[in-house]
Structure 1
């Protein structure tokens, strides 16, 4: 698995089938995000942005301990 996407062989290994229709069904059933390029190849994006985008000018919340002071 090199790069940002899987190769054809890696897709076949992941889905355990060389048939494209069954591979797409596997992706749908398991909630794997994919897209199809102009050559009808399945492209699985391995890295996707997670969470809300962080703005550099937004203030960070101040951390305070929730332990009781004795």
Structure 2
């Protein structure tokens, strides 16, 4: 699940500032979907900024629960 969100370093690199208030202003000004967690950190999905999702864990293979007759 860690691969779905930008890391703190990636958020700082994207916004070009380590200051959380300025990061929040950057996302609001550019209309990028985000949320604030309980520690007042900006949480951004990779898909919201167009970054590819990192495959930290392999996705499970889908199998039908129906029996083949």
Q: TM-score, normalised by structure 1?
A: 0.60
Match of 2:62 in 1: none
For residue 47 of structure 1, give the secondary structure of its aligned residue in structure 2. helix
For residue 32 of structure 1, give the secondary structure of its aligned residue in structure 2. coil
RMSD: 1.6
Match of 1:31 in 2: 31
Larger Rg: 1
Q: TM-score, normalised by structure 2?
A: 0.61
Match of 1:8 in 2: 8
Per the TM alignment, residue 47 of structure 1 is displaced from its structure 2 partner at its CA by: 3.2
Work out the CA distance in 2 between the residues paired with 1:18 and 1:47: 22
Moved over 6 A (4+): none
Number of residue-to-residue matches in the alignment: 47
Question: Aligned pair 1:21/2:21, yes or no?
Answer: yes
* Unaligned runs of at least 5 residues, structure 2: 49-69
Q: Which structure has the highest helix share of the two?
A: 2
* Unaligned runs of at least 5 residues, structure 1: 49-70
